[in-house]
Each structure stands twice: as C-alpha cells, then as structure tokens.
Amino acid sequence: MAAGCKAQSTPPQTTSPQATPQGSLDPAVLNRHIEVMVRSQFNVPQDYTVTLGAHKPGPIAGYDALPVTLSRGPKSQLVDFLISTDGKTLARFETFDLAKNPVFSINVAGRPIRGNPAAKVTVINFDDLECPYCARLHQTLFPATLDHYKDSVRFIYKDNPLPPEMHPWAMHAAVDANCMAAQSGDAYWLYVDYLHAHGQEVNGEKRDTAKSFDALDRIARQQAVLAKLDSGKLDACLVKQDETQVRASTREAESLRVESAPAVFVDGERIDGAVPEEQLWMVIDRALRAAGVEPPAAPAKPSQPAGTGK
C-alpha cells in the first residue's frame, strides 16, 4: 500500500485555535504554530527538535527577535527569526556584509593576465583544463570576447581541477600550466590555449592516465621551446609536481561555493557554466557601465537572405 492516501472529498472538521480575551493566540498555541511553520517552510526532518527561545527586542519596529534552535543529538544550529508583536507574522531576517563579500577579494596575485592589466573590469575564470565545458567557454572568451572588448577588460584564470575520479589529468595539467606561468605569462596562455583545443590528444585512444601525464609534459616542453623558456627550470618544476598553489586555488573556489567548472566572476557577478556569448557579454557590459565605461557596440548580425518562396 502506498505511503499516503488521497484526500477525501468531504472537508475534515477543524479545531479553532485557543485565543486569549485580547484576541491573540495563547502562548502555547502560538509556539506550536511557529514550530509547524518552521518545519514546513524549511523542510526540517522529523527527528530534529525545534526549540523556541525567548522574544527579544528586534531590529525592525513591530517585530521581536525570536531565536530558534534546530537540534538532533549533540548537533545544533541557531537560526534567527522575527515574530510580529501581534503574533500574526513570522519572518526570516538576514543581513549581508557588503564590505566582506569574498567575490570582490579573489586572490589574483601573480596570476597571468590576458588583456589590459589596467582595465577597470576583471573576468576571473575558475578553470579545469580537462573539462570540455571549460574548453567551450575558453573558445568563447578567446579570441571573440577579447577582440570585442579590447583594452576594456582583463582576463585571469584560477585553478579548479575536478577530482581525479572525474578528470584524471586535470590536476597535473594545472601544475604544468603554473610551471609555465612561473617563467612567462604568455607561455602560460599558449599552454592553456593548446590544451583547451586538443584535449583528445591528451586523453589518447585508451585514456591511459600515465600516458596523459607524459603528453602534458611533452606539450609543455614544446611550448617552452617556442616561448624560449629556461628548459632546466621547467623540467625541474614538471618533475616536482608541486600541487600547493593549485590546492590553494581550489580551497578558495570552495569558499566561494564553486562546485563545478567553469565558474566565472565578472567584477564579482557570477556565471556558472559555459553560457552563450550573448549572455556573457551582457554581464560584462553591465560591469563596464558600473565602472563608468561605455561598452562597445554589439557587432551587427549578418543579414539573412530573403526566401524565394513559391
């Protein structure tokens, strides 16, 4: 038998809440109403205890502060609510510290920059070099978006490789890219461009992780020759495979609640996933106007040939 029954056509009888002579609910009845509302609106599991604290003067006229504790065993969480002084309205009041929003303080120190380093608008992308959606976004950014905005915007990539059970060579690729960046920002971008365009070359036919690692190192050395890097320093960095810098970046991504790649922040405004070019440019235009810069006009769409008809 299914766990649940269809409602009967005859309305069930209801009981009227107990009221005080002044018309307000009895405190015990009011507390029960509050508990039921909290449980239903926030999907509180049945095995959690809901404990209401004492009413205190609230931050808004006509409302008292009402602390509510949700607990199960030794674990508990305090949630602050507001209750109107007439006992008819329950509210959830939340404040946001505009001065400490982490999206405005993402650490980009030492990261390679593409575009104008002095641009007023910054596009930060938490990237995974094995991610096909990241590759799609990369192709949207370069060259089309960079060419469109020219010196008005700068682009910075941060590392956010997904776990090895999902993307086996993403961490190794990020480390190799940072080895390139340690010597040359241009070399870093050459390497990132190549990987986002040739992911299948790194995967190989049999998707052998060891062979993928070898391919990543080989590509890095080839790009280093083109960029005239110090091959000795590069080789030492590739062999060491120090993940410290990459893991610091992934921790920052976690603090920003980034759970997938790519994740882009345009002067703090977040975009998840590989969105169409029009949506990306809409966000960049908004950031430019906020910075007092008039965005470039959108390119004219090619005209469609008129149908011949019959």
pLDDT of residue 310: 41
Global pTM?
0.74
Look at residue 114 and give its three-state secondary structure.
Answer: strand
pLDDT of residue 20: 45
Q: Which uninterrupted H or E stretch holds 278?
A: helix 277-290
pLDDT of residue 301: 75
Distance set, CA 100 to CA 96, 106, 251, 292 (Å): 9, 11, 18, 23
| Mean pLDDT of the 77-83 span | 93
Distance set, CA 210 to CA 12, 207, 215, 259 (Å): 68, 9, 9, 27
> How confident is residue 96, by pLDDT bands cut at 50, 70 and 90?
confident
> Does 29 have pLDDT greater than 80?
yes
